[in-house]
Amino acid sequence: MNAYDEYMKGIVKPMRQELVDAGFTELTNPEEVNEFMATAKGVSLVVINSVCGCAAGLARPAARQAIEEVKPDHMVTVFAGQDREATAAMRGFFEEIPPSSPSIAILKDGQLEYFIPRDQIEGYPVEQITEHLTGVLKQACEA
């Protein structure tokens, strides 16, 4: 690991921990992603985490707040730009969606139900993102 990678690992630690502390399972390699996707039944909330301060600083709090109101069966996260292979593996399960980070996917029995790309996160108040995500989660969990 070079000095830059080591530096970035330290920088992103609180960004990772924010979701882990909220109950998300971090998937850091393709094997973990594939194992999760092979066994994920019910509704899964997938947060593609990111260093990007503007959008990621909104996506993480919105995800944390949404799950306080509606709890999906599974909550996982991959970190774009850090765990590249894991992120690529997760994105492979919804290839029709252009890569976007941060972003949020709602899956039902491993199939993409809804996707919130970065352009629906960045520039919006966290309350609006939370409301959007909560509404989608309610629909997915009740269906």
Q: Angle CA(27)–CA(67)–CA(137) in degrees, nearest 5?
A: 95
Helix (H, G, I), strand (E, B), or coil: what is residue 49? strand
* 52 tagged catalytic: yes
Cα 129 from chain centre: 13
User: Which of the following is catalytic: 13, 23, 35, 54?
Assistant: 54
* 54 tagged catalytic: yes
Exposure of 26 by Cβ count < 10 A (0-12 exposed, 13-18 middle, 19+ buried)? middle
User: Which of the following is catalytic: 43, 52, 56, 106?
Assistant: 52
The residue among 5, 38, 39, 65 whose CA lies nearest residue 47 is 65
Considering Cα of 37, then 42, then 47, then 48, what sign does the dihedral take? positive
Q: Which helix (H) or strand (E) holds 55?
A: helix 53-69
Active-site amino acid positions:
52, 54
